Amino acid sequence: MRKYVIMGVQGSGKGTQSELLCDDLGLVHISVGDIFRWHVKKHTKLGAHVRRTMNAGELVGDDLVESVVRERLDQHDWNYGFVIDGFPRNGRQAEFFMESYDIDGVIHLELPEDEVRRRVLSRRLCPNCGMDYNLIADRPKEPGRCDICGHQLITREDDTPEALEARLSDYNEKTRPVLELFRRKEYVHDIDARPPAEEVQASIRDALHLPAYKATV
């Protein structure tokens, strides 16, 4: 069983790296953000609460995040282990989590803030078919138009410079102390998140002494 926490500022590629790690190793990717998005989309009671909170420009409370994670882990569908993303959010949760789940390692994706800004602010979305673009790495063939359906691309509401700065300062305030706590227990593997995704994945696997990535199609 392999149990990892993945941490890193927004835009550092946590989602992509988690998926690559889970793909051939049979791990389950547990993303707090994805769980909340699912609830919002399915109009559950929790989803309504999350939407209200975010519309008010606030962050979902740590206790709620914790109960969602506990509930998810209680499903025990992770026979080979998991990669968790978006949790823990504070020192208390980190202590509890380390003791209860016997975590094997913390993957810390490091990305300088100016690179975070460059990446996040270049993201575009097709509101029609949901295709993601990036004006740096993954630009559409015709500027501003979706390759798939031809619809005009938009910027996500929370990808504005103001929203990004708020998230960066929240990250520095809350996540850094958690990282320091893990670091004292020598769990943390610092990974340079600037290279292309496949290279970053190779560094992660090196650090964790895992076999090289083999795509399962």
Catalytic residue list contains 119? no
Q: Number of residues in contact with Zn ion, rule: CB under 5 A? A: 8
Rg for the chain, CA atoms, rounded: 18
Instruction: Give DSSP secondary structure letters for 5-40.
Output: EEEE-TTS-HHHHHHHHHHHHT-EEEEHHHHHHHHH
Catalytic residue list contains 167? yes
Q: Which one among 27, 84, 146, 200 touches Zn ion, defined by CB under 5 A?
A: 146
Q: Which one among 136, 137, 148, 154 touches Zn ion, defined by CB under 5 A?
A: 148
Under the binding rule (CB under 5 A), the answer on residue 128 touching Zn ion is: yes
Under the binding rule (CB under 5 A), the answer on residue 120 touching Zn ion is: no
Backbone angles phi, psi at 168, to 5 degrees: -65, -40
State the minimum distance, in angstroms, from the CB of residue 151 to Zn ion: 5
Under the binding rule (CB under 5 A), the answer on residue 154 touching Zn ion is: no
Q: Pick the closer one to Zn ion by CB: 136 or 148.
A: 148
Instruction: Give DSSP secondary structure letters for 91-134.
Output: HHHHHHHHHHH---EEEEEE--HHHHHHHHHTEEE-TTT--EEE
Catalytic residue list contains 92? no
- Interacting residues toward Zn ion by CB under 5 A: 126, 128-129, 131, 146, 148-149, 151
